Amino acid sequence: MSSQKTLLRLFNKGLSFPSDQQKLQLELVNKITQNLLISNTTNYFRPDRELQSMISCITPNVTYHVLSNPDLPPHSLLSFFNFLRSRNFNITHILDIKAHVILLSRLFEARKFATMKSILSSVVIDGKLCCPIPGVVSLVGELDPHFAEKLFDMLFRVCSDNRLFEEAFRVFDYAKMMGLGIEERSCFVLLLALKKCGELDLCRRFFHRMLESGRIQIRVQSLTLVVDVLCRGGEVEKAKELMAEMAGKGQMEAAEILLEEMQSKGIDPNIVIFNTMIDGYCRRGLIDEALRVQDIMARKEIEADVFTYNIIACGLCKVHRYEEAKRTLNTMLEKGVVPNVVSFTTFIEIHCKEGNLAEAEWLFRDMEKRGEVPNVVTYNTLIDAYSKNEKMKQAHMLKSEMVEKGLLPDVYTYTSLIHGECIAGRVDEALNLFNEMSAKGIIGNIATYTSVISGLSKEGRADEAFKLYDEMMGMGLTPDDRAYAALVGSLHKPSSHGNQHHEIGEHK
CA 395 to each of CA 246, 329, 387, 421: distance values in angstroms, whole numbers, following the listed order: 40, 26, 6, 10
SS3 500: coil
Task: Tell me the pLDDT tens digit for each residue of 351-388.
Answer: 999 889 999 999 999 998 888 899 999 999 999 999 99
Give the whole-angstrom CA distance, residue 152 versus residue 124.
15
Q: Which amino acid is at 244?
A: A
- CATH number for the region 410-508 comes to 1.25.40.10
pLDDT at 505: 40
Q: Of 411, 412, 414, whose CA–CA distance to 396 is shortest?
A: 414
Instruction: Identify the three-state secondary structure at position 95.
Output: coil
- Among the listed residues 75, 89, 9, 7, the one whose alpha carbon sits nearest the alpha carbon of residue 36: 75
136: three-class secondary structure by DSSP: helix
Residues 248-303: tens digit of each pLDDT: 555 756 556 666 666 666 666 677 778 877 887 888 888 998 898 888 888 878 88
CA distance to 114, 138, 166, per residue, from 122 (Å): 13, 21, 18
The predicted-structure confidence for 298-354, as pLDDT tens digits, reads as follows 887 888 999 999 999 999 999 999 999 999 999 999 999 999 999 999 999 999 998
- Asked whether residue 501 carries a pLDDT value surpassing 50, the answer given is no
Do residues 238 and 230 make contact, with C-beta atoms less than 8 angstroms apart?
yes
Q: Which of these, 222, 221, 183, 181, lies nearest to 204 by C-alpha position?
A: 222
pLDDT in tens, 207-216: 888 888 877 7
Residue 375 Ramachandran class (φ > 0 left, ψ -120 to 50 alpha, else beta) = beta
Domain locations in the chain? 1-180, 183-249, 270-338, 340-393, 410-508
Exposed, middle or buried, 266 (CB in 10 Å: 0-12/13-18/19+)? exposed
